[in-house]
Every structure is written in C-alpha cells, then in structure tokens.
C-alpha cells in the first residue's frame, strides 16, 4: 500500500494542477491593434490610418471598396485567435446596423473586412448618409468592441423591388346580393300531385275490399293481436321512413335505417304468421291418436 506521505504528495499535485488549469482558463481580455482602413476603387486609393479615421469623416461613393485590416490581441499584447470578427456599419439616421463577416489570416490573428459598394446586394443593405464603423470580436470567454469612426456614403438609396405581398391597399367591401325568393307552385298543381300520391293507397284499399281480405284472424286472440299490431306498426314505420327520406335523409341513411326496420318487420311478420297458423291447426285428441 502507498505510504501516507506519498498519498499526500499525490493529492497536493492534483490540487495544484486543478488550480493551474482554473487560472489558465480564466477569461482573457480582447482588444484590437494596427487598425487600418482603405477606400479602394478611385483613381488613387486612399489609405486611412486609425487616427485619420477617428479624427474626421471620410466619404465613400458607390464605386469604392472599403477594406479594414486589424489584429486581435489578448492580454499581454499577444495576438489571439478570435472565433468571430464582424464589421458593423450603423446608419446614424435610420438607426439600423448592417453586419459583415471578416476573414481571418495568419492563423486567425489578422482579420480583413471587405465591403464592396459596387455589389448590388451589398448596396441594398446600406443606408446613405453618415454611418459609424465598429469592429466586434469574440472568443469562447471574451469579447471586444472597437469604434473606428464615421464614414459618409455618397450614393443614392437603391430602390428595392416591391413584392405583391408587401403592397397593402383597402379593397372594396364584399357585397352579397341574395337571390330573390322563388315563387311557390300553384295550389292546383300541388293538389294534383297530392291526389296522385294518395291514389295508390286508395287502389290498395279498394283491392282489399274487392278480394274480401280477411283480417279477423289477425286479432283472434291476444297472441295474434300482439304480433299483428306490431307487424302493422312496422309496416307503417317503413312508410314513415320513406317520408323522412324524402324530406331530410340521404340514400346511405335510408339504407341503414331501412335495414334495421326491415329486419324487425320481417321478424314480426313471421311471428304473426306463426300465431295465425296455430289458430288454423286442428286440435288433436287422444281418440284421434
């Protein structure tokens, strides 16, 4: 087993390593140095130093290209690799800032930001007039901001194409004109159709009378009266279903309800026939056997 002295030494080394790693991972300060700007594109390129950019306002046209070079440094004036460096162009009139991503070189220590005013999409995002240039840098644990100065954009604002979805105008109010009410059919025509519907029932009743239909056995006793009445009611329900179908039901509803009522009617009709057959069957006695 390790001795207590050796174990204490190991623990002390572990604690010291943790303290060293914590101090090494503490946030470091970020800053910019060697900031230079250049307006390229004219007859003679204008190199603007850091002091000149902050001391007066420069002017850029739509034919220029703005190039900004800088070095990102940490604590102790040591160059540091920044994860993100952005050049912000903020319009003092519109209070809107446009961001441009800078490219890194020399292992990420030197950054270059290029804004080409001849590029139509770039020109559409900028606002003419006085704009403030600001550099932003960030690492995992630190950030830096550096205001370069002001730059006047001497170009006309680009007319942005209007989309049909961006145009709003008050449309006329929707007015609906109702169709005039249909004139009801003549009473004579309605009477003729009513008689035409009732005539088959009259023919059916007349046929029953002419054929001397015997309905007495349907109510001969309590059993035949019960099933006979239920069977008659089921037939009336079938006729009522046709009437309701004519008013509000569709064909599928008619088939569904009709199947249920039809099965009930068939069962009651069979029971009524069975009860009627019991009356007509002869009664056998012991003498006949």
- List, in sequence order, every residue forming a beta bridge with 79; answer none if it has no partner: 73
| pLDDT for position 237 | 92
Domain boundaries, the chain: 27-153, 187-280
Fold classification of 27-153 (topology level): Immunoglobulin-like (2.60.40)
Residue 118 Rama label (left phi>0; alpha psi -120 to 50; beta): alpha
Burial annotation 238-272 (CB, 10 A radius, 16+ → b, else e): eeebeeebeeebeeeeeeebbeebeebbeebbebb
**Is there a contact between 81 and 129 (Cβ–Cβ < 8 Å)?**
no
Q: Is the confidence at residue 42, as pLDDT, over 70?
A: no
Vertex 96, ends 93 and 98: CA angle to 5°?
125
Section 79-102 average pLDDT: 81
Section 53-74 average pLDDT: 75
Q: How high is the mean pLDDT of the chain? A: 75
pLDDT tens for each residue of 213-228:
766 767 778 888 888 8
Q: Is the confidence at residue 48, as pLDDT, over 80?
A: no
Question: What pLDDT band is residue 16 in, cutting at 50, 70 and 90?
Answer: very low
Q: Is the confidence at residue 184, as pLDDT, over 80?
A: no
pLDDT tens for each residue of 244-286:
888 888 999 999 999 999 999 999 989 888 887 776 555 555 5
CB atoms within 10 A of CB 224: 21
Of residues 40 and 76, the one with the higher pLDDT is: 40
| pLDDT for position 265 | 92
Angstrom distance (rounded) from CA 175 to CA 179:
13
Tokens found for residue 23: 């101090």
pTM of model > 0.75 = no
């Amino acid at each position: 087993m390790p001795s207590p002295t050796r174990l204490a030494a190991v623990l002390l080394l572990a604690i010291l390593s943790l303290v060293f790693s914590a101090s090494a991972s503490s946030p470091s300060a970020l800053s910019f140095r060697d900031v230079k700007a250049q307006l390229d594109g004219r007859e003679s390129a204008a190199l603007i130093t850091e002091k000149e950019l902050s001391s007066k306002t420069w002017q850029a046209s739509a034919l220029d290209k703005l190039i900004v070079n800088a070095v990102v440094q940490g604590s102790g004036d040591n160059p540091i690799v920044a994860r993100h460096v952005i050049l912000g162009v903020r319009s003092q009139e519109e209070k809107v800032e446009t961001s441009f991503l800078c490219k890194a070189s020399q292992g990420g220590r030197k950054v270059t930001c290029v804004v080409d005013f001849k590029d139509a999409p770039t020109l559409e995002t900028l606002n003419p007039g006085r704009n403030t240039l600001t550099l932003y840098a960030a690492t995992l644990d630190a950030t830096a901001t550096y205001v370069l100065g002001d730059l006047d954009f001497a170009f006309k604002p680009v007319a942005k194409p209007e989309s049909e979805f961006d145009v709003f105008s008050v449309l006329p109010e929707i007015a609906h004109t109702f169709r005039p009410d249909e004139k009801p059919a003549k009473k004579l025509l309605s009477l003729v159709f009513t008689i035409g519907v009732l005539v088959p029932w009259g023919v059916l009743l007349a046929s029953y009378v002419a054929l001397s239909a015997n309905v007495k056995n349907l109510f001969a006793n309590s059993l035949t009266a019960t099933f006979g009445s239920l069977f008659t009611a089921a037939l009336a329900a079938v006729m009522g279903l046709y009437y309701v179908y004519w008013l509000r039901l569709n064909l599928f509803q008619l088939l569904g309800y009709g199947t249920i009522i039809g099965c009930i009617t068939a069962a009651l009709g069979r029971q009524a026939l069975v009860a009627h057959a019991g009356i007509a069957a002869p009664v056998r006695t012991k003498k006949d056997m």
